[in-house]
């Protein structure tokens, strides 16, 4: 017996929503995509192209675009929401009247909501109270997916049905979907890496080398996992695609919008000029503000995020910030092995020993 065709609704007409809609259609799903721009809807339906966000991408012609949210959601069993974090809740609120508890709701958005420091799946939970909720995150540059470059992502949900359905709907010869049940960790990974992508773009524009980029990415991973663990996530998630995977791609590629904002600033543009020139969302700009505030409230040490915050919002030159960071207190490499406090304590003990009069020094191991 032929398998029933899965019905997928995508909310959002940007680059990622468009790439995901087309993947699902390539994979045999019946796909409707909602966006608010009528001209774009007409272009997608007539030319099978999203001229604003992915102009060179030949979309699967089976994707039906519409500005009618009710029609898009009516009989969908899987709803993918690809709306920037600033507008996410309002779009979910608009959709609510047509959402049903048996539907699977998946956020693809890598951002944080200011009020309450909520991730998008938490917004979905709050707004709907439904149980089939998940997130997609991973190294997924939309324009590379559009080129059908081999790509992998993670579907994270505590709900096995959500994980399985998304793997069935999106997994295909160029898009591989791995599963995780650490929804919070995966979602935090996607949001946090945007901060470091801005810093990496800046470093590249300032002519910093591969050693520097490697240091930045590795220390970023330490910082991200430290923060995520304090938030209840599993640190092992950061070894996966939504952690180190997404960090590598966005800290290395000019296709990342966050990286491009950092690069433009490294070339001397202001934050405002860099964001205006982009014309799309760079979630990291807002995320760094929210994360620094949260880290300070929770007492989590995040020198890179704080350094970037000073550069973006306090006018501190990036090179001066890099110098300050390099001269900060020496620390532990992998703090899940050697705790940072142990390194600090050893420094304090040594300083104490060095200052003691010669008669009190044992002359042995500390010499
Ligand atoms: N692009 C990528 O490579 C990837 C992106 N993501 C994440 O996906 C999320 C969405 O990004 P992406 O598709 O790239 O974003 P884009 O900036 O490409 O597009 C944003 C889309 O959201 C719509 N939108 C914005 N505000 C509203 C609103 N108030 N009401 C209705 N629609 C609105 C825009 O509509 P309009 O054109 O009318 O303004 C547009 O369709 C981001 O959080 C990003 O982090 C994740 C992985 C990869
Ligand atoms: O998250 C992304 C790739 O995984 C996209 O990054 P940008 O939002 O920086 O373009």
Per-residue pLDDT of the chain (367 residues; tens, 9 = 90+): 456 789 999 999 999 999 999 999 999 999 999 999 999 999 999 999 999 999 999 999 999 999 999 999 999 999 999 999 999 999 999 999 999 999 999 999 999 999 999 999 999 999 999 999 999 999 999 999 999 999 999 999 999 999 999 999 999 999 999 999 999 999 999 999 999 999 999 999 999 999 999 999 999 999 999 999 999 999 999 999 999 999 999 999 999 999 999 999 999 999 999 999 998 889 999 999 999 999 999 999 999 999 999 999 999 999 999 999 999 888 999 998 999 999 999 999 999 999 999 887 765 444 3
Q: Which of 86, 193, 294, 361 is catalytic?
A: 193
Which residue's CA lies nearest to atom 27 of ligand 1?
Answer: 87
Are 30 and 40 within 8 A, CB to CB? no
Give the length of the chain: 367
Please tell me the number of the ligand nearest to residue 280's CA: 1
Q: Is the CB of 250 under 6 A from ligand 1?
A: no
Q: How far is the CA of 14 from the centre of ligand 1 (A)?
A: 4
Please check if 288 is assigned to a binding site: no
Give the 3-state secondary structure of residue 181.
coil
Structure tokens at 74: 């009516």
Residues contacting 277, CB < 8 A, separation 6+:
264, 269
Q: Where are the domains of the chain?
A: 7-181, 193-336
Level-2 CATH architecture, domain 193-336: Orthogonal Bundle (1.10)
**Is residue 258 part of an annotated ligand binding site?**
yes
Q: 257 alpha carbon to ligand 2 midpoint, in Å?
A: 6
Please check whether residue 111 is in contact with residue 258, taking contact to mean a CB–CB distance below 8 angstroms: no
CATH class of the domain defined by 7-181: alpha beta
Tell me whether residue 294 is one of the annotated catalytic residues.
no
C-beta 196 within 6 A of ligand 1 = no
Q: Is 88 annotated as a binding residue?
A: no
ipTM above 0.95, yes or no: yes
pTM of the model: 0.94
Closest listed ligand to the CA of 257: 2
Separation between Cα atoms, residue 269 and residue 263, nearest integer Å: 9
């Amino acid at each position: 017996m032929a398998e029933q065709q899965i019905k997928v609704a995508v909310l959002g007409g940007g680059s990622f929503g468009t790439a995901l809609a087309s993947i699902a259609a390539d994979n045999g799903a019946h796909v409707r995509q909602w966006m608010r721009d009528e001209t774009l809807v007409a272009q997608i339906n007539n030319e099978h192209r999203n001229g604003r966000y992915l102009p060179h991408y030949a979309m699967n012609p089976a994707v039906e675009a519409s500005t009618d949210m009710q029609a898009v959601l009516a009989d969908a069993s899987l709803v993918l929401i690809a709306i920037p974090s600033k507008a996410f809740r309002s779009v979910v609120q608009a959709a609510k009247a047509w959402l049903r508890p048996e539907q699977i709701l998946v956020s693809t958005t890598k951002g944080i909501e200011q009020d309450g420091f909520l991730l998008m799946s938490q917004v979905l939970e709050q707004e709907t109270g439904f149980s089939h909720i998940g997130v997609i995150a991973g190294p997924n540059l939309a324009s590379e997916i559009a080129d059908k470059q081999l790509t992998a992502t993670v579907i994270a949900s505590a709900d096995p049905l959500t994980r399985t359905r998304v793997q069935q709907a999106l997994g295909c010869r160029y898009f591989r979907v791995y599963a995780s049940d650490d929804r919070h960790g995966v979602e935090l990974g996607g949001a946090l890496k945007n901060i470091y992508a801005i810093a990496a773009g800046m470093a590249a524009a300032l002519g910093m080398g591969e050693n520097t980029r490697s240091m930045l990415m590795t220390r970023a991973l330490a910082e991200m996992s430290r923060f995520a663990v304090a938030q209840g996530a599993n640190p092992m998630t950061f070894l996966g695609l939504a952690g180190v995977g997404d960090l590598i791609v966005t800290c290395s590629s000019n296709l990342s919008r966050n990286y491009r904002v950092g690069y433009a600033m490294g070339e001397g543009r202001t934050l405002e000029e860099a964001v205006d020139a982009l014309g799309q969302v760079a979630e990291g700009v807002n995320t760094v503000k929210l994360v620094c505030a949260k880290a300070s409230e929770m007492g989590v040490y995040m020198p890179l995020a704080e350094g970037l915050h000073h550069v973006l919002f306090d006018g501190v030159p990036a090179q001066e910030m890099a110098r300050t960071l390099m001269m900060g207190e020496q620390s532990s490499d992998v703090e899940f092995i050697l705790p940072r406090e142990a390194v600090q304590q050893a420094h304090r003990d040594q300083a104490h020993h060095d200052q003691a009069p010669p008669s009190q020094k044992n002359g042995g191991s500390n010499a």
